[in-house]
Structure formats: C-alpha cells, structure tokens
Amino acid sequence: MLLRYNYRITPDAAQCTALARAFGCARVVFNDGLRLRQQARAGGEKYVSDADLSKLVITRAKATEERVWLGEVSAVVLQQALADLNTAYRNFFASVTGKRKGRKVAPPRYRSRKDNRQAIRFTRNSRFKVLDNGRLRLPKIGDVPVRWSRTLPSEPSSVTVIRDAAGRYFASFVVTTAEGEALPPVESEVGIDLGLTHFAVLSDGTKVMAPKFLRRAARTLKRRHQELSRKQKGSANRKKAVVKLARAHARVADTRRDWQHKLSTTIVRDNQAIYVEDLCVVGLGRTRLAKSVHDAGWASFTGMLEYKAIRYGRTFGRVDRFFPSTRMCSSCGRVTNKMALNVRAWRCPCGSAHDRDINAAKNILAAGRAESLNACGAQVSPASVPAPREEAGIHPDAACSTRSVEGISVL
C-alpha cells in the first residue's frame, strides 16, 4: 500500500532561493507544454505526444537564450512537471469520454507564480537521499534539515517539496508500507452517523461533539481579514498580512486534521468493521449550511477511515445516501413519515423509543452488514427513499461545546 509521509523542512536563505528557482522553472515548463498543445489544437494540428513535448520544452529550450536558465535546476523536476501536465490531460479525456467516474474534470490551466501552493517532485532518478544526520539531500538545492516526527517505514520512491500559502515548506515522501500491519481481530462492529451538532454518533451510543474549529477561530480570522483589507495593494505590508491570514487558516486546518486522525485511529483500532453513510458533501456544500458542512470535514474523515481500515485489515463500507436511516425503526424496520429537525427522539408504533441519531447509526450498521453479506446482489435493504432536505440541519438547542466527547477520548 502506497502512503504519504509529510514532514516539515526548514531550508536556509540560499536553499529557499534555490527552491524558488526550481518552482519557477517547473511552472514555466508546465505552461510551455500547455501552450504548445493548445496552439496545436487551435491550428488543427496533431496532438503533441509526450516524447515530442519533452524535446520541445526541455531539451531544445535549454539551448535557447530565452530558456537557458532551465539548466540551473534538476532535469527530473522539469520532467515531473510535464508528467503532471500529461496526467491532467488524461484525466480530462477520461472524464469527457465517461471512463472516469465522479464529477467532470476541467482541462488543465496555466500555473501562476501567485498561486498559494508551489510544489516540485523528485524521483529516484534524481538521486535524492536521506542522510544519516537526518537531512534531506536534494540535487542542486543542498542538504535541507527535516523535522522528523517518526521514521519512514521503507525507502521512499519519491519526495515532493511543497511551499504552502503560509510560507511553510514540507517534504512529502511516497513509501510502500510493509506487510503484516493488520491489527489483532476484534468482535465489535460499528455504524457511524455523521452530523453537525454531533460530529459522529456511533451505533453503540457514543456521541462525539463537533469541535467546530472554523467557528472557534472566526474572531481571529475576521481580524486578519480586516487587517488585510486596510493594506494598500502591492505593498510589502499587504504581503505580510496575506501570510498572517494564511497562517491562521493553516492553523485551523492542521488542528482539524490532527483531531480527525486521532478519532479515526481510535475507531479503526476498536472495531473490526466500520460502516458510514455515503453523504453528498458537494451538494450539502451548496446549501445554507455550507460553512458548517465544510467545517465538519466529513469527506476527509471518511477517507481516513477507509485507508486506515484497508491498511490494518479492517472492513469498511458505505451505505447508500438515500437509505432512510433516520426514519426507519431499528427494531421493526418500519419507515415513518418525515420528521422535523427539532425532533431528537421519537417512538415507533411498535413501542420502541429511539434517539434520532443513535437509531440512524444502528440502521447504518445493519445495512452495512447486509450489503457485505449480500454477494449475489439481492435486494436486502429497503428501497431508496429521498432523505428530507432538513436532514443535516443544526438543532437550535444543541450544546455548543467544542472539546467534550461523550464516551470516547480522542484528545
């Protein structure tokens, strides 16, 4: 299994200059290649192949006076920039022809030096190396200090050097994990109902309060935005204000990611099978709850659960988003009518009393088990029923705690 391991690096002034030069050269090669293919298409000419494109924008370009400075950086960086362009085109063609599932992919666009994120990639051909003293040796850049938080499980196949909007540098290694990482089997299985008041409600009754990291940082972000708006465009103070704002947003994203990693690891470690609802996050992100939906980060959390389950030998499944988990009785299977969002508990005609979220988590667990056992494709769950529009709303009387976790400790 291929995984990425990210580490913070701290290059000195000379190394920052060399990295900026490498970022610029890779960006120029990418834009030159994109321009040639667009011109060929506009002129009705044949599609420029990958090999011909490499000769035109790298090999021959180095011999010209306008692009002679491309030889100041590693050739692997330039080749990987073209590889990214080729991948972008293939994804676009696969999306247009219907071979690629999911949302439509737009054609590649030009890269700008004003982009918030700059990145270059080194492969084994570039002979990058992790030295015994802990530094990362990059060709034509030097030995860069790395803040190692953990050791790499194996020899990396490539490393990507990233500069984010906050001015921080990271080294992202691609490694192949060793076999035999499966955790000891356990008997418990869990269904997870994701929400906004409670970030996650487990089928065993555990409720995890939503931390709402973006809401908590709203005051700081507002102040940073105000400071930025007062600065004159093009001034040095405005650039400093942009970095301060980016650091504030990065702090929110880092805190959310760390919290989700801890929670997902706990759930995967304690359960043999994990089932979640396949929410349409993109659609919910267009509603009036968009800010809260993006603050929750459901997609990244379920992605963590999925790859960790595969890595550690657990079972992971997604339940159809139109499955009526909230309105179906987990005891008798009866599907009731629509319920208002403020109805947090209800009673089925069969006599069973349900907590709205816990009942949904139990139904998700039952549906996940049924689908995993259904090898022949038979209909084992109720027919698809559209979920009510207010399903992901916020209960006005809900608690606003950001750190309390009922029944589980993840911080």
Q: Which of 277, 295, 306, 371 is catalytic?
A: 277
Amino acid, single-letter form, for residue 154: S
The DSSP letter of residue 43 is: T
Q: Is 38 within 8 Å of 173 (Cβ atoms)? A: no
295 is catalytic: no
- Pairing between strand 142-144 and 136-138? antiparallel
Q: Catalogue the long-range contacts made by 144-151 (C-beta closer than 8 Å, 24 or more residues apart).
A: 144/9, 144/10, 144/11, 144/15, 144/169, 144/171, 145/9, 145/10, 145/11, 146/7, 146/8, 146/9, 146/171, 147/7, 147/8, 147/9, 147/10, 148/7, 149/7, 150/5
Q: Which two tokens stand for residue 406?
A: 């009922």
Q: What share of the chain is helix, strand, coil (3-state, %, to 5)?
A: 40, 20, 40
Q: Which of 189, 357, 371, 391 is catalytic?
A: 357
Query: CA 183 to CA 314: how far, in whole Å?
Result: 8
Query: CA 75 to CA 122: how far, in whole Å?
Result: 10
Place of tokens 């950001």: 402
What 3-state DSSP class applies to 101? coil
Helix (H) or strand (E) holding 33: helix 13-42
277 is catalytic: yes
Query: CA 293 to CA 369: how far, in whole Å?
Result: 27
Query: CA 261 to CA 243: how far, in whole Å?
Result: 26
Q: Which of 32, 189, 193, 295 is catalytic?
A: 193
Residue partners of 91: CB distance under 8 A and separation at least 6:
100, 105
193 is catalytic: yes
Show which residues are catalytic: 193, 277, 357
